[in-house]
Structure 1
């Protein structure tokens, strides 16, 4: 509107008052800004009427602009917009991060574990109360939107993410999220929550790598505490809470020095060098070998699972 009134004023002074283009622009600016300098050249009746209309119109526009800016600041829209742009900039800079859809009970637990591993995360949530809780924390990145929509997932950087966790209350919504995420990123690891048994197969077909049923896991765990209490208590004491307190760690073979590729677990000699013990091996075909033989070859696209005290795990991470 401001640009338009300057354009109209300049053209008007050129054709009505017979000003040159520079003088017409100068006259328009000093008129609408109410500076009050003397006219460049005397104005006739038509030019004076045009100037009166220009002054009235410009004052109205300026009043409107000031009211919009005042309302924008008074309602904290400016600060909210600034915060939103800062969050968006941080999200756009993320690479190989995890997207958590839903910040309910399961979503909060997932975020706590991911934060303990210092993993880059983005939450997708549309519940105003939960968003207030996220904002109150001040350390979590989030997208306000419906996780079942492609727009929300794209805003969260699904194309650059390595994993996605969907913990929405509805199995149908989780199914939509899995379908959308798999379509947008075929390489992404997807973990979904499910409430009923019939949803398990559907979510797997839709593209979920893992489907977790919290209620079923809880019941099985409680039964195990009755049948094998000592074993379960020992397992519960194995901490995988974060980088500084883990008892279990996984080693990706590609992350090891090249000299160990295609060598054996025996050649790695983890027990002597770090105190850690190899308890599992994941083959390139995603098969797990419990307590692998020392002659097992460290082939690419495989992983080692090791156990040790927190200090030994830290030594392991420092060496490798």
Structure 2
């Protein structure tokens, strides 16, 4: 950028010098002097305004030699900037697509508006791999500043979803501002990958039903949820405080976490008591969500753990990470 400014400054100086020279040496009017300067620097070969004197000829030779150098330098600088920018954008996009192509079990965030930004922060704080699909330039700049993986394009385009790795993705967030677009994204994603978990945003109750029929696993209405939370904040403030403390990504004291029991887990087929999970200090197993969809709140110590169960636990982040490692790798006690 500094070179470009210097080149532009040199060009302005040469033009001003040419105008002044022709005006004072040849007594041309200001317009005639500007005309002579332009045709000299551009080497178009038009006739001069009037025959030049010897001084004018010498001045023109100097202006032509010096001016051509400045014009050439400016042209080369501008061309280099354009080519460099295009190459950077091309290879940057290719590198990004290569990184995205290597992902598996990641999430797609379709649309990075106000809701999409919050989702990205939550995913980044986990952290879990995710890709943002966005085409609005202002939002793209915010995504790039945050350092998230970005794919420029229309999320409703099947090719864009394929490039983002929809067939290998674990989940998708349809947070586009138009409900019809979210319906289309949901339908396309489910067609490409029937096992992908889709969470969709809906503005109206009708859209909620449509998105559910389209295959969305969860449909969230931000306005309904916000209104409910505001009402509960007044009616049950202590309850809301606990929920916010346990679910907010900034919370360092307490977290509500969901741990999936994988195939081959040492906890498979044993009770909570025998697994030793309930003996983990500072952690409470609040509920067990069965793979079939059933939910058991405040499970007893004799409740057996099965593959695919989701253990909902409350505790400090470090303790929860320890519990997660026990479910995946430790031997039952």
Scaled by the length of structure 1, the TM-score of the pair is 0.73
Map 1:4-43 onto structure 2 (within 5 A): none
Residue 204, structure 1, aligned to residue 212, structure 2: yes
Alignment partner, residue 297 of structure 1: 304
Aligned-CA RMSD value: 2.3
Alignment partner, residue 262 of structure 2: 254
Residue 126, structure 1, aligned to residue 135, structure 2: yes
How far did residue 199 of structure 1 move? 0.6
Judging changes above 3 Å, is the alpha-carbon distance between structure 1 residues 305 and 316 closer, same or farther for their aligned structure 2 residues? Answer: same
Scaled by the length of structure 2, the TM-score of the pair is 0.70
Runs of 4+ residues deviating >6 angstroms: 242-245
Alignment partner, residue 155 of structure 1: 163
How far did residue 242 of structure 1 move? 7.6
Judging changes above 3 Å, is the alpha-carbon distance between structure 1 residues 245 and 108 closer, same or farther for their aligned structure 2 residues? Answer: farther
Residue 141, structure 1, aligned to residue 120, structure 2: no
How far did residue 274 of structure 1 move? 3.7
Alignment partner, residue 67 of structure 2: none
Map 1:219-230 onto structure 2 (within 5 A): 219-230=227-238
How far did residue 284 of structure 1 move? 1.7
Alignment partner, residue 50 of structure 1: none
- In the alignment, structure 1 segments of 5+ residues that lack a partner are 1-66
Q: State the SS of the aligned residue for 1:151.
A: helix
Counterpart CA distance in 2 for 1:314 and 1:162 is 21
- In the alignment, structure 2 segments of 5+ residues that lack a partner are 1-75, 328-333
Judging changes above 3 Å, is the alpha-carbon distance between structure 1 residues 164 and 134 closer, same or farther for their aligned structure 2 residues? Answer: same
Q: Is the 8 A contact 1:72 1:78 kept in 2?
A: no
Counterpart CA distance in 1 for 2:317 and 2:291 is 28
Counterpart CA distance in 2 for 1:315 and 1:300 is 19
Q: Is the 8 A contact 1:243 1:314 kept in 2?
A: no
How far did residue 240 of structure 1 move? 5.0
What per-residue deviation string (whole Å, max 9, x for no partner) do you get for residues 98-117 of structure 1? Answer: 00000100000000000011
Alignment size in residue pairs:
252
Q: State the SS of the aligned residue for 1:88.
A: helix
Map 1:222-301 onto structure 2 (within 5 A): 222-239=230-247, 241=249, 247-254=255-262, 258-301=265-308
Judging changes above 3 Å, is the alpha-carbon distance between structure 1 residues 198 and 88 closer, same or farther for their aligned structure 2 residues? Answer: same
Q: Is the 8 A contact 2:272 2:278 kept in 1?
A: no
